[in-house]
Amino acid sequence: MGFVPISIDKYIKNHLESNPSENEKDLRKHLYSALEDSKKGVKCSCGNDIWVIGSAFAGNSCFTCITGESQFDSDYEIDLAIKKNDNK
Ligand SMILES: [Zn+2]
């Protein structure tokens, strides 16, 4: 169980295929900004690590606060954000 790692480029490509009306530039900007915050150690208001992909859309929050679910097993997360967590 855990997040499925995905690169930013691949995620953007997948996301735009299912959401063709969204702006790639904005999406990329929001993803990088959430990733930077994650690297800086920004936490969700509940104290958990932020979920970069969800935070790109909903603001910096963890998976549970964004989705209302405590379990994840097939949800994507940016690979660079996951590596950071493994180094702890
Ligand atoms: Zn939270």
* 72 conformational bin, left if phi > 0, alpha if psi -120 to 50, beta if neither: beta
CA distance 51 to 57: 10
pTM as predicted: 0.88
> Could you tell me the distance, in angstroms and rounded to a whole number, from the CA of residue 55 to the centre of ligand 1?
11
**pLDDT number for residue 73:** 79
Domain ranges, ordered by start, for the chain: 4-86
**pLDDT number for residue 83:** 65
**What string of pLDDT tens digits covers the 88 residues of the chain?**
689 999 999 999 999 999 999 999 999 999 999 999 999 999 999 999 999 999 999 999 999 999 998 887 789 999 999 864 454 4
**pLDDT number for residue 49:** 94
Contact 33, 8 (CB under 8 A): no
The token pair at 56 is 């790109």
> Could you tell me the distance, in angstroms and rounded to a whole number, from the CA of residue 29 to the centre of ligand 1?
22
